[in-house]
Amino acid sequence: MAESANPSNVPAPPHSMSHEGGGGRMGGAPGAALPPLEAALHYPFQQPDLLRAALIHRSYLHDVPEGAAESNERLEFLGDAVLGFVVARRLYLRHPDKPEGQLTNMRGALVRLSQLSAWGAALDLGRYLYLSKGEEVQGGRERPTIIGRAMEALLGALYLDGGLEAVDAVLGRFLDETTESQVAAVLTADYKSQLQRAVQARSKSAPQYRLVDTSGPDHALEFTVEVWAEDRMLGCGLGRSKQQAEQAAAHAGLQALEDTPDGTPDGTPPVIPPETV
């Protein structure tokens, strides 16, 4: 098993708070008792303060005396690195036939905040968070970004408590339930974001999408969309909806940029049909 935390390095927990939850708190919005969360994880923490520390949102610090607690942001930083490694190792071992580029894309789909939020929601992580009273009133326990970052911090806490073996056991259950088609769906939905980042890395302009044709009967319309960057057409996409056609055009644009590293497509820009998106 990998190294675990030295107790002296465990982040400071909320003062006057037992492992059973929010009794005796000095302020803020209490989280629920933690044993059900450990049961859901199938992992009993050897250092319960690590689990608590992973659940402390920075807003909580506004409602408690200075120095009474530390936010989960440092554990989130650690969890991000651990998550990337564990996911990359699993993908490498399970997909010996896939090249580096595909593995990178798959890892990107699995480590994004929206995926972490979904896993955190499956654990009902929001009910265990330490928040300020104001954040709780504003719906912080259901906020996907807060839940996703707490999930990342939880992975950092798992690593410090039980090493990579603990992280792999907990994270592995979520990864096993995530199918390749779900990963592909996430990647497909993100072609526009990927293209925007790629174009803006080369120029200050954002991609522009133009609907150039609509054909077919009303019950089976097909849309054709071109994507342009400044005065250059990067690609063309077809789809059963304008949104799908835009994603297809973005996919084509990405292919064009990959084929021409200087960002200037040569010849005829690629066309992506709807069945490939």
Pair 234, 206: CB distance under 8 Å? no
Out of 38, 80, 124, 222, pick the active-site residue: 80
d(CA 49, CA 191): 41
pLDDT of residue 244: 81
Pair 34, 51: CB distance under 8 Å? yes
Out of 152, 168, 226, 246, pick the active-site residue: 152
- pLDDT tens for each residue of 20-70: 344 334 567 768 889 999 999 999 999 999 999 999 999 998 887 776 678
> What's the pTM?
0.65
- pLDDT tens for each residue of 71-92: 999 999 999 999 999 999 999 9
Q: Which of 177, 189, 194, 116 is nearest to 148 (CA)?
A: 116
The model's confidence at residue 273, banded by pLDDT at 50, 70 and 90, is: low
pLDDT of residue 269: 57
Which of left, alpha, beta for 27 (phi over 0: left; psi -120 to 50: alpha)? left
pLDDT of residue 113: 85
**For the structural domain made of 191-276, what CATH number should be given?**
3.30.160.20
Q: What is the mean pLDDT of residues 196-202?
A: 85
Number of residues written out for the chain = 277
Is residue 152 part of the annotated active site? The answer reads: yes
The model's confidence at residue 197, banded by pLDDT at 50, 70 and 90, is: confident
d(CA 214, CA 135): 47
Is residue 226 part of the annotated active site? The answer reads: no
**Mean of per-residue pLDDT scores for the chain:** 83
Which tokens go with 190?
């993100």
Q: 7-185 with 191-276: one CATH topology? A: no
* Domain range 7-185, its CATH number among 3.40.50.2000, 1.10.1520.10, 3.60.20.10, 1.10.10.10: 1.10.1520.10
Q: What is the mean pLDDT of residues 183-197?
A: 77
**Tokens 């609907």 map to which residue?**
211
Pair 25, 18: CB distance under 8 Å? no
The model's confidence at residue 156, banded by pLDDT at 50, 70 and 90, is: very high
What dihedral do alpha carbons 184, 166, 80, 29 form, nearest 10°?
A: 110
Domain boundaries, the chain: 7-185, 191-276
What dihedral do alpha carbons 209, 211, 212, 214 form, nearest 10°?
A: 150
